[in-house]
Chain A
């Protein structure tokens, strides 16, 4: 088994998603079965194969490095759940 209780807790922590015990159990089962299934890729020899990260066959143009001003802070903050004096507001992080 690749994913045990410790591993699922670690990934959940890295993902910043709180899981209760029941969910942890379910995801341990799901993730192990998915990982077992994807491991069939080990049958494929990939020696000297370059990993493919960008599929586009067109030449991607570079743009001029010029600044522009498309968003006002007001627009950016418009959907914030909490804001204060032109900033995003979050729970206090320093005592």
Chain B
């Protein structure tokens, strides 16, 4: 099966080589053939056909007209329910459209369905979803593999060629790690580039929307479409959005890449260190100057993240109280009983764990010792990157410490699961743009990923380095 790119498909639609209906029927067929992967929480063929009907009557030119896109089920959508993969939002039908999905609709894209994720984006394997695991399309028959998470459904949808691109969100690695596990491209832009309006909030100072695609060119097209200022998100940035695709330049001659020594972690599999070295060699051949850099507070990024993210989550998830929307328990003798039973029955185990941790680190007497301390270490981590970027144009590291692991591994030990994000969390804390591209395979022929990090709002440099590495690898 050869996968068409978004770029090629836009050309084929333009030259009438294929119609919008033919194109989408091809994708619908594959979606139905791959139901066993449990990629979608919501999929309705009728809904897709309706969207095709509407677009066929629309004579205006639109940038993504007819392009099948999958949407992580954390984005509120008017024409499909939105669950955040939680029982507590099981019956939620938003009356408004998220900023990101509205932009995609305005460009004429077709939403094929809402993809599975870890409940409220809390997880690294798409195994905390109320709607069951998603299976990595690259699994061998005898051993189902995890697609990574939290945006595992979106990564799997692109990997199995069920769409030409997908939206994701990344709080600590939730786009980059599943992209690596599923062998696709995933970009988390700078914090503030895409509005968070209409995305179910997890950790507001970290959450950022992004894109999955088959290749870097496609990612550059789609990111431009979802970026932009929005007054409804108070941290949305008022910056010019360049035409990333038009500006793509794979000539890296004279650029400097930073290689952080702290990302050589004991116990990292040899294959991971090997692809990292390979990527550096490729860059060197292209005339890139290699600069060894130090990000001294790297090892404190994970514990910092696991204070800040749960703290913000405990506050954000207070809104799910059984009053305004979603699930309400039947056991409601009093108002307090209603709250406590609704939340006990509506949230899954990992979400409750994080709410409890977050409530503890914010509670009287512990706030300074945990939350304030973590915010201070976060400043040191961000400063490390600021210093490093005085000496280099971009940074290259592995994306994840392993290839995709079996579905049910690491379920009982939360800390072990948290370690998946060891290479992605530091850039999240610093709000930096990061992309993961497939680069090399492990001994079982599973894809591995290379991560490229850039300066704030320097997505163009990240794309340029990524496309250069991608073209040398193909």
Contacts and interface: CB of A to CB of B under 8 A. Distances in A.
Interface of A: 3, 7-8, 10-12, 14-19, 23, 27, 30-31, 33-35, 37-44, 46, 49-61, 63, 71, 75-76, 78-82, 88, 90-91, 93
Contacts of A19: 344
B325 interface: yes
A50 B359 CA distance: 23
Contact of B300 (A8, A41, A78, A82): A41
B356 A52 contact: no
**Top 10 closest pairs, chain A to chain B, by CB:** A51-B375, A55-B431, A79-B325, A58-B237, A81-B328, A46-B376, A52-B379, A18-B340, A38-B303, A18-B344
29 contacts: A15-B356, A17-B344, A19-B344, A23-B352, A30-B353, A34-B415, A35-B360, A38-B307, A38-B370, A40-B299, A41-B374, A46-B377, A49-B380, A51-B372, A51-B375, A52-B375, A52-B378, A53-B205, A55-B205, A56-B192, A56-B235, A58-B237, A58-B456, A78-B93, A79-B325, A81-B322, A91-B333, A93-B334, A93-B335
B380 A90 contact: no
A65 to B, nearest CB: 12
B338 A58 contact: no
B270 interface: no
Interface in B274-328: 297, 299-300, 303-304, 306-307, 314, 318, 321-328
A52 to B, nearest CB: 4
Interface in B440-463: 456-457
Contacts of A43: 300
A80 B356 contact: no
Contacts of B304: 38, 41
Given A54-B205, A79-B93, A17 B382 contact: no
A75 to B, nearest CB: 4
A34 to B, nearest CB: 6
B77 to A, nearest CB: 14
Nearest to A79: B325
Contacts of A58: 192, 237-239, 456-457
Contacts of A12: 356
B373 interface: yes
A95 B260 CA distance: 65
A18 B331 CA distance: 12
Chain A CB within 10 Å — which of B347, B372, B377 has the most? B377
A62 B360 CA distance: 33
A56 B376 contact: no
Given A55-B205, A56-B191, A16 B415 contact: no
A16 B376 contact: no
Chain B CB within 10 Å — which of A23, A43, A57, A63 has the most? A57
A16 B339 contact: yes
A72 B370 CA distance: 41
Nearest to B327: A81
A27 B328 contact: no
Interface residues of B, number: 72
Contacts of B237: 56, 58, 60
B57 interface: no
B379 A49 contact: yes
Contacts of A53: 205, 375
Nearest to B415: A37
Contacts of B359: 11, 14-15
Chain B CB within 10 Å — which of A14, A71, A78 has the most? A14
Contact of A54 (B235, B353, B357, B380): B235
A44 B300 contact: yes
Contacts of B326: 79, 81
Contacts of A55: 191, 205, 382, 429-431
Contacts of B382: 52, 55
B471 interface: no
Nearest to B381: A52
Contacts of B231: 61, 63
B95 interface: yes
Nearest to A88: B323
A80 B318 CA distance: 16
A38 B373 CA distance: 11
Contacts of B300: 40-41, 43-44
A17 to B, nearest CB: 5
B340 A51 contact: no
B332 interface: yes
Interface string B219-243: 0000000000101001111110000
A41 B356 contact: no
A80 B325 contact: yes
Contact of A40 (B303, B339, B344, B357): B303
A38 B322 CA distance: 32
